[in-house]
């Protein structure tokens, strides 16, 4: 549950820290005092959208921190895997922090470690359920209706959506193959002819470089022979040769080496040179024996290289690219043959459709099981909210075409009183009725999520009681009070009947300070609470009658309500 919310330089709040307790708490205050600021700040801490507009005028940064305790079991493993370790001084506390600067740049932390806004949002889904004052507007949109029903019944539609995407992709491939059949046939014919032409050459992967090297060697064979013979003459066969001259130098130095020991090092170098000259002469002779003129082979190489160059020019490629081009054409031909196999594509498309249909049918069955249960629960809640005899239904109608979200549309129908036929919600309900129906749905779905262990421990209602009054307002208050026995409930309200049912009462007010306006929140004691409820009953005037009425209202609140009954999905 939410334990503490801290704000700094947020909208018209300078510095504020609010502590929360279990049970049902209300926030009240005059119009324009900023009752929804706490809700807006909490949504930001839970990963909501933020921009520079949330920073208080004249400040550089807004900061919001929210503490929750204890950490929900469903989040424990997630926090460990994501590296958000518990704080040593508060191992059961989860701390979320968010800042937004004057340029709109946002930063986030979880338990003191840097986090993404997406991670804040993922964590927030397990901590708080927020129902806004215009929640009823989404109840007229099919997508919202369907999402609400799926959430109520714990239906996971991800597998179905994936199967739909796969089926659509496979269907697109089949349609493309059918539409482009003639074009693909021409393309296949062109590729097959080109492959046949290059296959005649059968270019090896490294052949072009090898051919060029061999051609260079044969084309210059005579020059190589002359160079070899000249080198042999210079090193060993000539008069005098390099070997002979080196030998003479050794003989001359050896005669005087006994008188000049320092010559020994030079003698060793010359001896090494003489040995290397002998090795070189031997190698040159071997090369000379292996090197010969081969005009026939040179002609073959000329013809082969000409074929390479001719094909390369025809297809406007470099000769060395021909092997890679041939491989590319073969791959394209194989792809065309695969996509042109309409029978195989048809079978694959049918298999993908059957997978989607199976997943969608399971979702449809779950929706049809859950819809009557949810409708009955909301109908029961409507009776408590001043709509006696009213009836709530969920219409599931087959779609003309299957969609990623399933095979049917979903719509809320309502009959405002006994004997009337349920009709689409947005067409028959007034603003006040819509608010009450939205409240009935919020309470019912929240109970169901809590019953299956998926609901957030904190439930927030932001002026969802708009358009409600009289005895119905008292029922709304009692309903929230009962919810507070099972979960932490926070409501922003303008109804004294609802405020009187709260376990704790927070007053939001505006304060002028140094020419600037700031918002302030404080917890009311018993006497202050009487005064605030009297104000809510009679406006600015706190008459004796109003105060007496407020005392009576507080005194008659049932302090020990029975827990709400939860309708479970079969």
The mean-pLDDT minimum among 85-94, 277-286, 308-317, 497-506 falls in 85-94
pLDDT score recorded for residue 568: 42
pLDDT of residue 360: 96
Residues 6+ apart with CB under 8 A from 368: 396
In the predicted model, is pLDDT for residue 456 greater than 90? no
Segment of 209-223, 295-309, 389-403 carrying the highest mean pLDDT: 389-403
Lowest mean pLDDT among 63-72, 115-124, 279-288: 279-288
H-state helical runs in 96-157: 117-124, 135-138, 142-152
Range 334-340 average pLDDT: 74
Report how many helices (DSSP H) and strands (DSSP E) the chain contains, helices first. Answer: 20, 15
Beta bridge partners of 101: 61
127, 68 Cβ separation under 8 angstroms: yes
The tally of CA atoms less than 13 A away on the side-chain side of residue 7 is 24
Per-residue buried b or exposed e for 65-92, using 16+ beta carbons within 10 Å of the residue's own CB: bbbbeebbeebeeebeebebebeeeeee
Q: Shortest CA distance to 396 belongs to which of 374, 426, 419?
A: 374
Q: What's the confidence (pLDDT) of residue 570? A: 42
For range 45-63, the mean pLDDT: 89
Whether 565 has a pLDDT exceeding 50, the answer reads no
Spatial contact of 63 and 97, defined as CB atoms under 8 Å apart: yes
User: Which of 489, 521, 491 has the alpha carbon at shortest distance from 506?
Assistant: 521
Q: Are 61 and 526 spatial neighbours (Cβ–Cβ below 8 Å)?
A: no
The more confidently predicted of residues 555 and 362 is: 362
Asked if 461 contacts 406 with a C-beta cutoff of 8 angstroms, the reply is no
Gap between the Cα atoms of 286 and 363, Å rounded? 85
Q: What pLDDT is recorded for position 538?
A: 79
Angle subtended at Cα 224 by Cα 223 and Cα 229, rounded to the nearest 5 degrees:
100
With H, G, I as helix, E, B as strand and everything else as coil, classify residue 545. helix
The answer to whether the pTM exceeds 0.95 is: no
What pLDDT does residue 567 have?
41
Q: Find the mean pLDDT for residues 115-134.
A: 82
Which is more confident, 552 or 514?
Answer: 552
Q: Pairing state of beta strands 488-492 and 24-28?
A: parallel
What's the CA angle centered on 482, arms 134 and 394, to 5 degrees? 50
Give the whole-angstrom CA distance, residue 460 versus residue 569: 24
With a cut of 50, say whether residue 563 has pLDDT above it: no
Q: Where are the beta strands (DSSP E) in 93-191?
A: 94-101, 106-110, 113-115, 128-131
For residue 74, what pLDDT is reported? Answer: 78
Q: Is the pLDDT of residue 415 over 60?
A: yes
Q: Residue 73's closest CA among 446, 487, 457, 459?
A: 457
User: Mind listing the pLDDT tens digit for each residue in 392-414?
Assistant: 999 999 999 999 999 999 999 98
Instruction: Quote the pLDDT of residue 485.
Output: 82
Quote the pLDDT of residue 342: 77
Strand duo 458-462 + 128-131: pairing: parallel
Sheet architecture: strand order including 2-10:
13-19, 2-10, 61-68, 94-101, 106-110, 113-115
Mean pLDDT for all residues in the chain: 83
| For residues 370-388, average pLDDT | 88
CB of 499 closer than 8 Å to CB of 493: yes
User: Is residue 570 within 8 Å of 373, Cβ to Cβ?
Assistant: yes
Q: How far apart are CA 60 and CA 536, in angstroms?
A: 37
Band (234; pLDDT cuts 50, 70, 90): confident
CB-based contact 106:53 (threshold 8 Å)? no
Count CA atoms within 13 Å of residue 514 on its CB side: 2
**pLDDT band per the 50, 70, 90 thresholds, residue 232:** confident
- CB neighbour class for 380 (10 Å; exposed up to 12, middle 13-18, buried from 19): middle
- In whole angstroms, give the CA distance from residue 342 to residue 337: 10
Beta carbons within 8 Å of 370's beta carbon, 6+ residues apart:
149, 152, 153, 155, 569
Q: Measured between alpha carbons, how far is 9 from 266 in angstroms, rounded to an integer?
A: 90
CA distance 382 to 416: 9
Say if CB 481 and CB 557 are below 8 A apart.
yes
How does residue 430 score in pLDDT terms, banded at 50, 70 and 90? low
């Amino acid at each position: 549950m939410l334990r503490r919310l801290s704000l700094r330089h947020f909208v018209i709040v300078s510095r504020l820290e609010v502590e929360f307790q279990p049970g049902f708490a209300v926030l009240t205050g005059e119009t324009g005092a900023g009752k929804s600021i706490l809700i807006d700040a909490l949504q930001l801490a839970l990963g909501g959208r933020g921009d520079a507009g949330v920073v208080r005028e004249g400040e550089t940064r807004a900061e919001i921190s929210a503490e929750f305790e204890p950490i929900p079991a469903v989040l424990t493993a997630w926090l460990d895997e994501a590296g958000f370790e518990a704080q040593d001084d508060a191992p059961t506390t989860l701390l979320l922090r968010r800042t937004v600067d004057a340029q709109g740049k946002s930063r986030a932390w979880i338990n003191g470690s840097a986090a993404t806004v997406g991670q804040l949002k993922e964590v927030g889904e397990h901590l708080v359920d927020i129902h806004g004052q215009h929640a009823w507007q989404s109840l007229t949109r099919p997508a919202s209706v369907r999402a609400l029903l799926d959430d109520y019944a714990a239906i996971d539609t991800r597998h179905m959506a994936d199967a739909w995407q796969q089926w659509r992709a496979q269907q697109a491939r089949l349609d493309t193959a059918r539409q482009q059949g003639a074009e693909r046939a021409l393309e296949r014919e062109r590729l097959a002819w080109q492959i046949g032409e290059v296959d005649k050459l059968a270019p090896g992967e490294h052949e072009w470089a090898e051919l060029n090297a061999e051609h260079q060697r044969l084309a210059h064979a005579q020059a190589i022979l002359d160079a070899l013979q000249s080198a042999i003459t210079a090193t060993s066969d000539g008069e005098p040769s390099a070997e002979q001259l080196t030998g003479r130098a050794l003989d001359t130095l050896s005669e005087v080496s006994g008188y000049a020991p320092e010559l020994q090092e030079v003698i060793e170098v010359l001896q090494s040179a003489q040995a290397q000259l002998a090795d070189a002469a031997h190698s040159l002779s071997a090369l000379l024996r292996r090197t010969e003129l081969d005009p026939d082979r040179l002609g073959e190489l000329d013809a082969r290289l000409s074929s390479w160059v001719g094909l390369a020019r025809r297809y406007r490629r470099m000769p060395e690219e021909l092997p890679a081009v041939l491989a590319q054409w073969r791959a394209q031909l194989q792809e065309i043959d695969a996509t042109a196999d309409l029978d195989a594509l048809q079978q694959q498309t049918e298999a993908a459709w059957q997978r989607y249909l199976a997943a969608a049918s399971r979702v449809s069955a779950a929706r049809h099981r859950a819809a009557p249960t949810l409708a009955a629960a909301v109908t029961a809640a409507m009776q408590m909210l001043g709509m006696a005899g009213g009836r709530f239904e969920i219409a599931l109608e087959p779609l003309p075409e299957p969609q990623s979200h399933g095979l049917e549309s979903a719509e809320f129908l309502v009959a405002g009183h006994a004997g009337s036929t349920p009709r689409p919600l947005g067409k028959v309900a007034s603003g006040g009725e819509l608010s009450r129906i939205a409240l009935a749905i919020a309470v019912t779905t929240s109970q169901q999520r809590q019953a299956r262990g998926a609901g957030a421990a904190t439930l927030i209602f932001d002026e969802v009681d708009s358009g409600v009054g009289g005895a119905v307002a008292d029922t709304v208050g009692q309903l929230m009070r009962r919810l507070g026995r099972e979960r932490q409930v926070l409501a922003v309200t303008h109804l004294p009947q609802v405020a009187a049912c709260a376990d704790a009462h927070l007053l939001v007010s505006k304060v002028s300070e140094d020419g600037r306006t700031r918002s302030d929140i404080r917890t009311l004691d018993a006497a202050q609470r009487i005064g605030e409820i009297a104000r809510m009953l009679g406006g600015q005037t706190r008459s004796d009658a109003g105060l007496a009425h407020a005392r009576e209202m507080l005194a008659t609140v049932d302090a020990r309500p029975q827990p709400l009954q939860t309708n479970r999905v079969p």
